[in-house]
Amino acid sequence: MDIEIRKGKKEDLPDILQLIKDLADYENALDQVKLTLNQLENDGFGNTPSYYFIVALHDNLIIGMSFYWIRYSTWKGKFLFLEDFIVKESYRRNGVGSKLFEATINIAKVENMNGMCWQVLDWNTPAINFYQKYNADISSAWLNGKLDKLQINSLKSQSL
């Protein structure tokens, strides 16, 4: 199967949003996707992009993506944070994921990152097995914390 990996473009965003929704559906969380195409355009293609992505194409159709941003660790410096990584179900087990993941690793290498990190759900055995092929550390020691916009807005503001 001929696969092309390239940097993402603004015109790709409708397909990217659909892949995001496909992943959320796979994770039984489609109702949690609140992101809009307009937000993706503004946040990724403005003066200060909040994210980047690469795509996998077959016959000029987007069949997968690696969606990432730059994270800064106070202990270790710059890291590439792989936010979402997805290959359309009908194209899995054809090497597409490996090509995308290795291209993402290469971005971390070329950009002189101190590492690459991501999250994976503890029940997603196929993904865990995929990452372990790369000798990745999958930690169960760290717990995720977050505040959503509603929670943030409900707190009393303090000026800096």
User: Is there a catalytic annotation at residue 26?
Assistant: no
Residue 85 three-state SS: strand
Q: Return phi, psi of residue 2, to 5°.
A: -80, 120
Out of 26, 72, 131, 134, the active site residue is 131
User: In 3D, which of 147, 153, 127 has the Cα closest to residue 138?
Assistant: 127
Q: CA-CA distances (angstroms) from residue 14 to 9, 19, 37, 38?
A: 11, 9, 7, 10
Known catalytic residues are 131
